[in-house]
Amino acid sequence: MTKIAITLSLSLLLALGACGKKPAAAEAAAPVESAKPAETPTPDDPGAAASAEPEKAAPPKELKGCDKTLHDFDEALSAAKYECKKDADCSCFPGQLSKIPGNDCGGVVDKPTGKKLDALVKDAKKNGCGTMAQCEPWTCEPICEEGRCQRGPRAKKK
């Protein structure tokens, strides 16, 4: 009796398992058909080359307001040199204005870049712009170490 029950249970499981599946041959055939390489146009056929090119996306809309300010802030940071000869050659910038990882919570740049960023900081504050990055508080103590602007303070010598 138990052998019959086990046999029926196994038969039922196999039948249920097969109900929702496609035959393996049909599954394997579909990807093979879709994987055919696209025909490449010959250089002698200019019409085919033009139709084979992907469509160009519409140009991005012009940035305005906070989007433009934050974009310009990141552009200025990306162009920063971070070069210095003394501590006074460096400047701090606040957090929550950059989307660049590592700069999202503020940092230190070279003085010329700092001046560009200061104008953008004023604009951002006036318009209530920001990235909402969650940042630890830090003190602005820019230092020049080995010709690069960095966060201070200097490590005390032992």
pLDDT, tens digit (0-9, with 9 covering 90-100), for 97-125? 999 998 999 999 999 999 999 999 999 99
Higher-confidence residue of 113 and 3: namely: 113
From CA 31, how far away is CA 29, in angstroms rounded? 6
Collapsing DSSP to helix, strand or coil, 143 comes out as: strand
The pLDDT assigned to 156 comes to 75
The pLDDT assigned to 56 comes to 47
Domain ranges across the chain: 65-151
Overall pTM > 0.85:
no
Instruction: Indicate whether 54 pLDDT > 80.
Output: no
The pLDDT assigned to 158 comes to 62
How many helices (H) and strands (E) are present in the chain, helices listed first?
A: 5, 4
How do 148-151 and 107-110 pair as beta strands? unpaired
